[in-house]
Structures are given as C-alpha cells and as structure tokens.
A and B are shown apart, each in its own frame.
Chain A
C-alpha cells in the first residue's frame, strides 16, 4: 500500500485544474461539437481510467495465482469494482454528450445510438464484471472464491480486449476513430487532437486515475481491516 500522500495532493490539484481549466480555457470551435468538446476531459477520461483499473485488477489476479496471497485477491476485486463504477460514470457523461450532439444536432435515433460499437463494447465490459461479482457471490469458501474468480478475471479480460480495442475500429461508428474517418486513435493521436485540448486532457487523465486509485485504496484498506483475522501475516 502506498503510504505517502503527495500523490493525493497532486490528484486534487490536477482535478481542480481540470474542472476550472476545462470549463474556462479556450477550446477549438468545431461543427456540431461546439462547446460540448469540453466533455472530453470527463467522458473520455472515465473510460481511460476504467480500462487502467481493469488492467490493474487483472495484474493482481495474476499475482494471486502466483502466490495465493488473499491480499492480492482483495486488491483485484476492489480495483474491478471501482473500474465498473467508472464505467457507469462514463456512460452517464456519454449520455449528456450524445444528447447535445447526436440527438439534437445530428438527429440520430435511439436505435442507431444503441448500436454504437463502443457502447456495445462498454456494455460487454460491465456485463463481464457483473458476472465476475455474481461468480464471487456464489462461493462460500474464501480461497476457492479467490482462485476461481481470478481465473475468470484473466480469461474475461482477454476476451474483453478485442471488443473494446479492435471491433470498434473495424465497423462504422458515430464515435471518432471508426474506419472511414481520418482520425486514428481518438483523442490520443497527436495529429488530430488540438494542442489546447491536450493542455487539459492529459492532466485530466492523470488526475482521474489518481483519484480512482485513491478510492480503491480506501476500499481495500477497509476490506483488509475487516479480514485482518483471516490474513495471516
């Protein structure tokens, strides 16, 4: 566990900068997007951090299988839980964004929005982690629960990867980054993201990541205290 607290202060400062700078600083005026582009700092960051936390969760699952230390299982499950929460926040911020661009300005129907490959990929992610928690709930034996759910976590993450990173690149999409549009990786490509956006976007990702890790560590610490008698160390 990280005992130092400088990174918590960094997280706070970066997020204050994100919110203040995100709403006040100059952004490029684009057709349809207009000022909604500021949502980039919130919506895209949520997905970024979700994927990072799922990745961390898988790493701890692998670590669990290597040493069977229950501590790693607690880490894995809490990172997955916070990741899922961020996924829900990503949907929420996405809904707001879609409301002002796809619905009002492009007059897309709900049907075409729900068929968005990125939305489907994200839904698969949330379903997979939902199943992960259901699986955990069906065990009474702690060690067995940790072992089996670690296996599922690793396997599911490997299957999740193409649905989020590959399939949306193959099929048509309303999101940037689909084939046919000239952008590659949306918001990451140096050529298509405006430098004014980058000024806030990169600090925003770091800030949100640190905040999410902070939340996760708090949850982990509570869990570790609860299970103190079970963790023989």
Chain B
C-alpha cells in the first residue's frame, strides 16, 4: 500500500536529479528572466488588467516548460525500474509533489521579477502571493498529468500544450478572477470564498483523478 517512505524517496530522487543536472533548472530560470525582460522592453508599467493577464500567461508557459519534462525525461528503462520498486500511486504522488515544489518556487520568483521590472500594481502583496501559490500549485498538478499522458504518446513537448491548454482554461479563468481580489476590487459577500472553494475543489478533483487514472497510464 501507500508508503510515505517510498514517496519521499522518489521525491528526493527528483530533487537530487535537479541539483545534479543544474542545466535544466537554470534553463527555466533563464526562461523566466528573459521573458520578463522582453516584456519589460516592450512595455513598462502596464495597466492592471494587462499586468494580471501577462502574469498568468507567463505562469502557464513557465509551467509547460518546467513540468513538461518531468515525464519526458524518464527513459523507458528507468520507468521499468520504477515499475518494479514502487506502486503507480506512490510514483505519481511523488511526481506531483516535486512539480508542485518546482512550480511554487518558479511562481514566487516570477512574481518577484514581475514586481521589479513591470511595476507593482498589487495592493495587497501577501494576498496576491497566496493566490500565486494556489495558482502555481494547481497549474503544476494539471500539467503533471498532461505530461504523463504526452510521454506515453512518445511525442514532443508540443503535445503537452495541445492537451493541457484547453483543460487548464477554466482553472486559469478562476485564478485571474480571484487575483483581482488583491487589486482591491470589491467582491460580493462570500464570492471570494466561493472562488477559493471552487479552485480547491478542482484541485482535489485533479489529485483524485490522477491517483485513480495514473495506474492505467503506467502499464505498458
């Protein structure tokens, strides 16, 4: 059955791998820095809505780049090895945890870079940081599964985008709406919690579906 020890070991393996092969990690950092810089050169101090839209679109692309490789990098032989030492549920939970950590780091970093380069229209920084954490976590979970599916199709990362973008849209719409709370937009009583509840509900649904469906993806 589920063993926390195994999940932690798999999680640790992914983190260690990231430290050993620093080029992918730095690659993503460079990706964030250069995108934000390009945006800065083309427009500084955009208005609120533009800032919000740009921020979430950039999150989406960072996620495609950072998370997509998580399954694509595993070779067939290595997958077979994981197959023999762990259960699929442990494997997917470890992957999701690792991607979550990666994406949360990247989200916070891009928030920092955004507020340095693009001006900071956010009134309530802590609130927005919280929303960014929820958002990054949700996006990373969806793309973990899309990456697992795309890896089975033996296709490039482009398939991750094709599969993932329509699926992520409802979540992204909710997030963009929620982030307006940090821009001092006044919400109706209870509307804010309704939104947060909806996003949290979707996240739970994603995790449950991942746990139920991944065993079918895993066998070959």
Partner of B217, one of A139, A148, A163: A148
List residues of chain B with CB within 8 A of the CB of A120: 169, 173
B28 within 8 A of A: no
Contact size range, A: 20 to 34
Instruction: Tell me if A151 and B167 are in contact (CB < 8 A).
Output: no
Q: Type the 1/0 row for B164-176, where 1 means its CB is closer than 8 Å to any CB of A.
A: 0111111101100
**8 Å CB interface, A149-165 against B:** 150-152, 154-156, 158-160, 162-163
Partner of A152, one of B149, B173, B177, B206: B149
A138 within 8 A of B: yes
Instruction: Tell me if A124 and B149 are in contact (CB < 8 A).
Output: no
Instruction: Tell me if A151 and B166 are in contact (CB < 8 A).
Output: no
**8 Å CB interface, B114-172 against A:** 142, 145, 149, 152-155, 159, 162-163, 165-171
Instruction: Tell me if A148 and B152 are in contact (CB < 8 A).
Output: yes
When C-beta atoms are compared, the residue in chain B nearest to A68 turns out to be B216
List residues of chain B with CB within 8 A of the CB of A128: 166-167
Q: How far is the CA of A91 from the CA of B145 in the complex (A)?
A: 30
Q: Type the 1/0 row for A156-195, where 1 means its CB is closer than 8 Å to any CB of B.
A: 1011101100110011000000000000000000000000
When C-beta atoms are compared, the residue in chain A nearest to B173 turns out to be A167
A230 within 8 A of B: no
List residues of chain A with CB within 8 A of the CB of B154: 138
Q: Determine how close the nearest CB of chain A comes to the CB of B142; give it in whole angstroms.
A: 8
Where chain A touches its partner, the secondary structure class is helix
Where chain B touches its partner, the secondary structure class is helix
Partner of A124, one of B170, B194, B202, B213: B170
List residues of chain A with CB within 8 A of the CB of B109: none
Instruction: Tell me if A151 and B159 are in contact (CB < 8 A).
Output: no
Q: Determine how close the nearest CB of chain B comes to the CB of A143; give it in whole angstroms.
A: 10
B interface vs A, CB < 8 Å?
Answer: 142, 145, 149, 152-155, 159, 162-163, 165-171, 173-174, 177, 191, 194-195, 198, 202, 205-206, 209, 213, 216-217, 220
Please list 21 pairs of residues, one from A and one from B, whose beta carbons are closer than 8 Å in the complex, sorted by A's number: A120-B169, A124-B169, A124-B170, A127-B169, A131-B166, A134-B159, A135-B153, A147-B217, A148-B149, A155-B145, A155-B167, A155-B209, A156-B167, A158-B209, A159-B167, A159-B171, A162-B170, A162-B198, A167-B174, A170-B191, A170-B198
A interface vs B, CB < 8 Å?
Answer: 65, 120-121, 124, 127-128, 130-131, 134-135, 138-139, 144, 147-148, 150-152, 154-156, 158-160, 162-163, 166-167, 170-171
